[in-house]
Structures are given as structure tokens and as C-alpha cells.
Amino acid sequence: MPRIFVDGKPVDLPEGAMIAAALGDPPVAGWTASGAPRGPLCGMGQCWECRVRVGGREVLSCNTKAVEGMEVFRD
């Protein structure tokens, strides 16, 4: 079970989960890249609403597997 950090908040996810699983309700709810109060939309990389920064790069959270110790930033 990998533990990642979303804006500094620790989130435990099931093995093989995508980062987007940490952006739902709970634990880090009410966010998309547009700032709208909702979670990831399409879940397949088409809408780009779930983009986050990992390691200084912008990635789609719905297409990126969570890895132990990963630091994810929503800004």
C-alpha cells in the first residue's frame, strides 16, 4: 500500500492505484485543475482536469500510478 503526499498531506492508496484516487472524497476532495469544486472527471486522460505536478512535471493523475513516497502538488 503506497503512501503518497498530496500538498504535504499523507494519503495511503491501494497497490496499483492511480494518483487520481487520492483526489476524490476523501481524503483530498473538492479540486480540479480548473479550481472547480469536484473530483477528477473523465478518468481516462481526455479532459485534463486532473493534472498535478510530480517531480516538477505536469502529469495526469488518472494515468499515473501512485508510487511510495511520491509528492504530488495540485497547484
Return the domain boundaries, the chain. 3-73
Check if CATH label 2.40.50.140 holds for domain 3-73: no
Whether the per-residue pLDDT at 65 is higher than 90: the answer is: yes
What's residue 47's pLDDT?
82
Amino acid letter for position 9: K
pTM: 0.80
Whether the per-residue pLDDT at 69 is higher than 80: the answer is: yes
pLDDT tens per residue across span 14-55: 999 999 888 875 545 555 555 665 556 777 888 887 888 999
How would DSSP label each residue in 4-48?
A: EEETTEEEE--TT-BGGGGGSTTTS-S--TT--SS--SSSSSSS-
What's residue 50's pLDDT?
84
